[in-house]
């Protein structure tokens, strides 16, 4: 079959596939929204934590997957958002004011962290961002007067919504799920716009992108800043979820796990972070019945995934579809 005929066949198979995919996504979202009705409070907590982490990994997917900028500092922005929220919410400031403030602060810090990316790339950039994460972690741990040090900040209040309390685990889960869906929809809109495609151009070849008039300085900085703002928002929800913040969840190991989520799901694929976040948040919990072996099995599963599916879990249906057309 010729290349053109291949493409026409692929386009024909894609349209109904797309419709089916949209219906499947809607069913999965509704099922996930109803899932906690069947779970105990720890299960609902995990579902909420999944949503929170998803906000941060979606941001990282923009930075790493779409714009091709290596980052090992996402947990630092997550932490900055969480500490801003913990301090401000305890001081009685409205959640709905804290949320944009944390996003803006992380956006600005993200812009600054983007500057090394203008000079260095790949593993050099990975180390620059890792250094930033360690620095932020040390500030959280050592600046006790502000952050509470290793004792952290406890008693962070949860918000209300139109006067309704969100203190219940179920109510807060639905609130977080709605916020996550809004954030994902906004990122989807951005990534499907010409500006979003400029990020992909930057990742594929910055010189080519520049020759089309794309301002690669601005887009490189924005890739970090938007990714950081998403992590900052996630951090605010994390503080309200756990109602306690301490430095440990923002160690650079958390950044590594977020990067793992991007790669396992499929770097630069829109729904890649969903699969990846299932792997980093839920899979370790499901493997707990293995007791002492669970981390070893988790590690083995990740290594096996990377060997068989270097394009991430979401590359499976694509391979299958192409195989069917070519046969």
Q: Which chain residues interact with other proteins by CB under 8 A?
A: 3-4, 6-7, 11, 194, 197-198, 200-201, 204-205, 207-215, 268
According to the 3-state scheme, what is the secondary structure of the chain?
CCHHHHHHHHHHHHHHHHHHHHHHHHHHHHHHHHHHHHCCHHHHHHHHHHHHHHHHHHHHHHHHHHCCCCCCCHHHHHHHHHHHHHHHHHCCCCHHHHHHHHHHHHHHHHHHHHHHHHCCCHHHHHHHHHHHHHHHHHHHHHCHHHHCHHHCEECCCCCEECCEECCCHHHHHHHHHHHHHHHHHHHHHHHHCHHHHHHHHHHHCHHHHHHCCCCHHHHHHHHHHHHHHHHHHHHHHHHHHHCEECCHHHCHHHHHHHHHHHHHHCCCCCCHHHHHHHHHHHHHHHHHHHHHHHHHHHHHHHHHHHHHCCCCCCHHHHHHHHHHHHC
- Measured in degrees and rounded to the nearest 5, phi and psi for residue 57 equal -75, -30
Q: How far is the CB of 214 from other proteins (least distance, A)?
A: 6
Q: How far is the CB of 165 from other proteins (least distance, A)?
A: 44
Q: How far is the CB of 204 from other proteins (least distance, A)?
A: 5
Q: How far is the CB of 6 from other proteins (least distance, A)?
A: 8
Q: How far is the CB of 126 from other proteins (least distance, A)?
A: 23
- Measured in degrees and rounded to the nearest 5, phi and psi for residue 94 equal -65, 140
Residue with tokens 């195989």: 323
Q: Cα–Cα distance between 306 and 112 in angstroms, integer?
A: 32
Q: How far is the CB of 197 from other proteins (least distance, A)?
A: 5
The residue (of 91 and 212) whose beta carbon lies closer to other proteins is 212
Bridge partners, 161 (sequence order): 164
The residue (of 195 and 300) whose beta carbon lies closer to other proteins is 195
The residue (of 195 and 293) whose beta carbon lies closer to other proteins is 195
Q: How far is the CB of 300 from other proteins (least distance, A)?
A: 31
The residue (of 144 and 204) whose beta carbon lies closer to other proteins is 204
The residue (of 34 and 212) whose beta carbon lies closer to other proteins is 212
Q: How far is the CB of 160 from other proteins (least distance, A)?
A: 40
The residue (of 171 and 325) whose beta carbon lies closer to other proteins is 325
The residue (of 158 and 269) whose beta carbon lies closer to other proteins is 269
Q: Cα–Cα distance between 62 and 188 in angstroms, integer?
A: 10
The residue (of 4 and 307) whose beta carbon lies closer to other proteins is 4
The residue (of 143 and 204) whose beta carbon lies closer to other proteins is 204
Q: How far is the CB of 209 from other proteins (least distance, A)?
A: 8
Q: Cα–Cα distance between 76 and 234 in angstroms, integer?
A: 12
């Amino acid at each position: 079959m010729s290349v053109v005929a291949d493409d026409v066949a692929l386009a024909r198979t894609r349209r109904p596939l797309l419709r089916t995919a949209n219906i499947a996504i809607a069913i999965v979202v509704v099922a996930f929204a109803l899932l906690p009705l069947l779970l105990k409070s720890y299960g609902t907590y995990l579902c909420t934590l999944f949503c929170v982490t998803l906000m941060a990994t979606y941001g990282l997917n923009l930075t790493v997957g779409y714009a091709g900028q290596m980052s090992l500092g996402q947990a630092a922005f997550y932490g900055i958002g969480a500490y801003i929220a913990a301090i401000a919410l305890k001081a009685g400031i409205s959640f709905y004011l804290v949320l944009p403030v944390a996003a803006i602060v992380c956006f600005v810090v993200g812009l600054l962290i983007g500057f090394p990316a203008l000079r260095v790339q790949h593993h050099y950039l990975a180390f620059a961002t890792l250094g930033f994460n360690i620095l932020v972690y040390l500030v959280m741990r050592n600046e006790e007067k502000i952050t509470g040090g290793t004792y952290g900040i406890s008693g962070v209040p949860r918000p209300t919504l139109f006067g309704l309390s969100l203190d219940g685990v179920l109510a807060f889960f639905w609130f977080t799920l709605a916020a996550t869906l809004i954030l994902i929809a906004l990122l989807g809109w951005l990534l499907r716009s010409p500006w979003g495609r400029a990020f992909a151009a930057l990742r594929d070849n910055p010189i080519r992108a520049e020759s089309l008039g794309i301002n690669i300085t601005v887009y490189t900085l924005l890739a970090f800043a938007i990714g950081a703002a998403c992590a900052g928002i996630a951090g605010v929800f994390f503080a309200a979820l756990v109602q306690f913040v301490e430095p440990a969840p923002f160690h650079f190991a958390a950044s590594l796990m977020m990067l793992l989520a991007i790669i396992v799901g499929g770097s630069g694929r829109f729904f890649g972070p969903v699969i990846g976040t299932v792997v980093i948040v839920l899979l370790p919990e499901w493997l707990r019945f293995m007791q002492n072996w669970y981390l070893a099995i988790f590690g083995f599963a990740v290594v096996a995934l990377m060997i068989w599916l270097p394009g991430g879990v979401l590359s499976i249906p694509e391979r299958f579809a192409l195989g069917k057309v070519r046969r």
